[in-house]
Amino acid sequence: MVLEQAHWTRQAGWSGIGDKNLLDSAALVLVFGNREELANADRFNEIRAAYPNARVISCSTSGEILGANVWDNSITSTAIVFDNTPLTVATLNIAEHPSSYDAGQTLVGRLLRDDLLHVFVISDGQKVNGSDLVRGMTALLPPNVSVTGGLAGDGTQFQKTLVGMDQSPTEGNIVAVGFYGTRLKVGYGSMGGWDSFGPDRVITRAEGNVLYELDGQSALSLYKKYLGDLAAELPGSALLFPLSIRFGEGDTSVVRTILSIDEESESMTFAGDMPVGAYARLMKANFDRLIDGASIAANESQETIGSTTSPDMAILISCVGRKVVLGQRTEEEVESVCEVLGDGTVVTGFYSYGEISPFSASTKCELHNQTMTITTFSEK
């Protein structure tokens, strides 16, 4: 595997394109960037001109990861030449499907082959129910095929997100990449680091990913109580207090964060399902545990890939909520991952509205919020 990374800023333009002369040989280019900048068709045209034979996958972000650095208002690209790994790309728009579950099944149906190894998926972060998307995908996949990826971001604006495949990114799109063969090894890990507090509360009224009541009371009112003066900054300030969701006794909890609120109905829309009868508990940040969680996720990705050497590439997808909480310490979580993976690993990624990964090699894929999720690739 050979990789070439480039970086665009409004002040400096592109740097790095062509450094390794991958212009004609790159099979896949991953592009992550600020929504307003990505919406300019000139950026896609410049990447297409640089890598005319590659499939170009792009999405808007809440921050870009390049190496050990975190950027805002920029665009990153990672061009990849595989040694012996075929790939197929499928895309659709959620508006053309009755549900996110159906969209997930349709995508996987376009990728299924006997030698399918892994699926990496990038989805619109506002119009898609991430939980249903993952369930639809995994319902058709054999147990030995893993799924990772994430939901596009839009800073802390929560207005709209963009995803594209071989064209300028637009709203509502979902793109999935299928990797095939036996040469590629894929690892993954996901970890949070938030502390739960307060009592378990039962979700007593919800529809899909829209939450109305906890313990028979307005969930939005409860959030406003804990946020205090920060309630005026909803939905962005809700990133400080995500919900831990547990479906039953002994189940592993997943974290859910808010995408939007509706004052009239007193409801909150989350990135994933809020099932009636599940237990919900408020969470708050623990700075050191957030950073340690990123390091643990990196170690898990090393374990699942089954190698002690540095992987060729790592895609880091971390939640915008972590970035908001960590503030100036945000780069510390990325640096902790790079320390685990080693200098030989090319690192890319972005801050998201939702992360897609199994907890570990022995568990099913889930949509997560407020986690650091890492996918590692190696053809060594």
Name the residue ranges covered by the structural domains of the chain: 2-191+288-378, 195-284
CB neighbour list of residue 154: distance below 8 Å, 6 or more residues apart: 35, 60, 62, 125, 126, 160, 161, 353
In the predicted model, what is the mean pLDDT of residues 28-38? 97
Between CA 242 and CA 204 the distance in angstroms is 18
* Global pTM value: 0.88
Residue 182 identity (one-letter amino acid) = T
d(CA 232, CA 229): 6
Please list, in sequence order, all residues whose beta carbon lies within 8 angstroms of the beta carbon of residue 50, skipping any fewer than 6 positions away: 6, 17, 18, 23, 79
State the DSSP H helix or E strand holding residue 226, giving kind and residue range, or none if neither.
Answer: helix 219-227
d(CA 35, CA 169): 9
Say which DSSP state 156 is in. B
Instruction: Name the token pair of 210.
Output: 């829209």
Q: In angstroms, rounded to a whole number, what is the distance separating the alpha carbons of residues 55 and 9?
A: 22
Instruction: State CA 102 to chain mean position distance.
Output: 20
Contact 132, 105 (CB under 8 A): no
Q: Which residues, in sequence order, are CB contacts of 41 under 8 Å at separation 6+?
A: 168
Which stretches within 181-218 are classed as H helix? Answer: none
Among the listed ranges 23-27, 72-76, 158-162, 333-337, which one has the minimum average pLDDT value?
A: 23-27
pLDDT tens sequence across 124-159: 999 999 989 999 999 999 999 999 999 999 998 889
Structure confidence by residue, pLDDT tens digits, 84-124? 999 999 999 999 999 999 999 999 999 999 999 999 999 99
Q: What's the confidence (pLDDT) of residue 361? A: 57
Count, residues in the chain: 380
Confidence (pLDDT) at 72: 96
Mean pLDDT of 33-49: 96
Position 20 scores a pLDDT of 84
Contact 240, 283 (CB under 8 A): no
> CA dist 345 to 68, 88, 94, 104, Å?
11, 24, 34, 30
Read off the amino acid at residue 94. I
The candidate with the shortest Cα–Cα distance to 240, out of 254, 252, 226, 253, is 226
Distance CA 327, CA 321 (A): 10
Q: Which two tokens stand for residue 17?
A: 């394109």
The answer to whether the beta carbons of residues 196 and 281 sit under 8 Å apart is yes
- pLDDT single digits (tens) 253-288: 788 888 889 999 999 998 788 999 999 998 887 788
Beta strands in 161-241 (DSSP E): 163-165, 173-180, 185-191, 195-196, 201-207, 210-214, 217-218
Q: Which two tokens stand for residue 53?
A: 């034979």
Which pLDDT band holds residue 249 (cuts at 50, 70, 90)? Answer: low
